[in-house]
Amino acid sequence: MGLGGMSISTRFALVFLLALGLVGTAFYLILDRVYLNELKSQAETVADNVDAFGTWVAQYGRVWVKDDPRSYLGHMPLLQADDGATGTPGALKAVNFYSKNPALAQREFSEVVARSGSPAKFRLTSHNVMNPANAPDAFERVALTRIRQQGLKEYFELTDDGFRYARTVYHKAACITCHGEAERAPNDVKVRYGTTNGFGFHAGDVAGVISVRLPARSFSQVALTVVGGGELGIVIAAFLIAMLFVRFAIVRPVRRLTEASHQISLGQPANLGVGGIARTSRNEIHQLTLAIDRLRRSVNIAMRKLGEDKPGHAAPVEAHHER
């Protein structure tokens, strides 16, 4: 039995479920896009903050920190008067300052964030890293390749590890001091990193990317936070209301008309219920009922005329008189 042989209720249920599936698919696509855009917006905010911090360091060329020799480029010892807390008041003591360029300061900043409770993590990397610790991972290699080949400003993916975002970083004129020609780089840079990697750039070249990682839930988890039992209950209630409407507003009247038409075809009286129907009603079922009633009247009139016009219709009466 094809679709045309099914009842109206069954066909309506199938159409309703198909429409619901299409709406669900559209909802999925919309929700997925909204969720992805929200993650991207968060990653962009992180990248903006990292970029702003790097710009702050770059405007001074380098920043100097006191008594922190863990990682540095330049070292500058100074003499400073003792405040008396650890020695003789007024006596001079040596104080060591260590310099950090923007890239080193940003890397240490990323390490602090990585150890913190912040869900967002970031790092800077490049296709030509000066420090091997900044080597790109699999996502970052893909991002760097796409960015360099296609001239992209950013690249992002939703992976099993979470949402990954890469913002393109370009070399500024101030960056070329350390990343231009190796022989012209500051001596402390060459001593710390060598002269093989991280050089040969020009102003405006792609320096690398700010790589941001955000935790991301699966879409099913996101969907469950948006669509709960209440929402599903509303959908089911809408389906039941629609089915009841079809049953009582369409199926039942059609069945009544079908039964009445069958009675009419047998020459039996049939109650179409036209007495309570206004002739101006816009209800299609009402108009169909009125049309069937007009057809019944026309058939009855035609049958009476046909009987009256038959030859010999009055013959039995005439024979009766002759007897």
At 240-264, the pLDDT tens digits run 998 898 888 888 888 888 888 888 8
What span, in angstroms and rounded, lies between the C-alpha atoms of 27 and 131?
46
Q: What is the DSSP secondary structure assignment for residue 65, as one 8-state letter?
A: E
Q: Return the higher-pLDDT residue of 9 and 51.
A: 51
Q: Which of 151-160, 186-195, 214-223 has the highest mean pLDDT?
A: 151-160
Give the number of other Cβ atoms within 10 Å of residue 246's Cβ.
Answer: 18
What span, in angstroms and rounded, lies between the C-alpha atoms of 55 and 40?
22
Grouping H, G, I as helix, E, B as strand and the rest as coil, residue 282 is: coil
What span, in angstroms and rounded, lies between the C-alpha atoms of 267 and 307?
15
At 288-313, the pLDDT tens digits run 888 888 888 888 888 788 877 766 65
At 75-126, the pLDDT tens digits run 777 767 666 665 566 667 778 888 888 888 888 889 899 999 999 999 999 9
205 pLDDT band, cuts 50/70/90, is: very high
pTM score > 0.75 for this model? Answer: no
**pLDDT above 50 for 66:** yes
What span, in angstroms and rounded, lies between the C-alpha atoms of 121 and 187?
32
